[in-house]
Amino acid sequence: GAVVSQHPSRVICKSGTSVKIECRSLDFQATTMFWYRQFPKKSLMLMATSNEGSKATYEQGVEKDKFLINHASLTLSTLTVTSAHPEDSSFYICSAEGGREDSYEQYFGPGTRLTVT
Amino acid sequence: DAKTTQPTSMDCAEGRAANLPCNHSTISGNEYVYWYRQIHSQGPQYIIHGLKNNETNEMASLIITEDRKSSTLILPHATLRDTAVYYCIVRIPPGAGTALIFGKGTTLSVSS
């Protein structure tokens, strides 16, 4: 099946710093990628939808200046958490829509655990 | 996307079939039923999807009622590794750039 990777898998950063998370579709091109956030014992919450070459669409309540999303190519989207605070600590998951003709679906990355100290 | 209702949790003995129900009474004619699962601290994994016919793959079977208002995911021989949160989602076919919206899902606990 189609594979989506995320890097890093875990990151610890200090309050006030920025951290970048990469999401790559390894064996298919993805015109659309999605970013989710998941707090402990909660479900995934959609943060934003990003389309290659255009600005991301953010869900209500998600600060676009704090969570910068760049989708510069058909295989890479990045999420940068700027001026991170402890309340930004969460599990960030990306997904990419694409695949082969007979298996076109939304595929998920393994997630990135962010801890802000 | 239409809303779904799932039980909060279910238990299953290893080796037995796990039957996970989902209600989606407001599903539209062009919406599919999708099932994903999430094992602790991992990204969601696609299981199966269907429109109105029953579907089966190497992981599971999906039974959709004739009126399409509910469905059941069947894991025929549950193992300990099937312990996860299972999400039932209804959505239009992928390709329109519409994200999957997750509800609370069902936590399935498989025990020996």
Closest CA to B108 of B23, B2, B22: B22
From residue B45, alpha-carbon distances to A27, A46, B33 in Å are 17, 16, 15
- Percent of chain B clearing pLDDT 90 (strictly above): 87
Per-residue confidence (pLDDT) for residue A102, from 0 to 100 = 66
> What span, in angstroms and rounded, lies between the C-alpha atoms of B65 and B42?
31
B14-18, B45-49, B71-75: lowest mean pLDDT where? B45-49
- What number of C-beta contacts closer than 8 Å exist between A and B? 54
Q: Provide the pLDDT confidence category of residue B105 given band limits of 50, 70 and 90.
A: very high
Per-residue confidence (pLDDT) for residue A2, from 0 to 100 = 81
Q: Provide the pLDDT confidence category of residue B1 given band limits of 50, 70 and 90.
A: low
Q: Give B-chain residues touching A91 at CB under 8 angstroms.
A: 41
Please say if the pLDDT value at position B20 is more than 60.
yes
Average pLDDT across each block of 10 residues of chain A; the chain has 117 residues. List them in order.
92 97 93 94 94 90 95 92 97 90 83 97
For chain B, what is the mean pLDDT? 94
Pick among A28, A43, A71 to test the B interface (most B CBs inside 10 A)? A43
Once rounded to an integer, what is the mean pLDDT over residues B61-83?
97
Per-residue confidence (pLDDT) for residue A101, from 0 to 100 = 66
Strand partners, A24: A5, A76
Interchain CB distance below 8 Å, B45 and A108? yes
Per-residue confidence (pLDDT) for residue A105, from 0 to 100 = 84
Once rounded to an integer, what is the mean pLDDT over residues B29-57?
94
Confirm if A25 and A4 have CB atoms less than 8 A apart.
yes
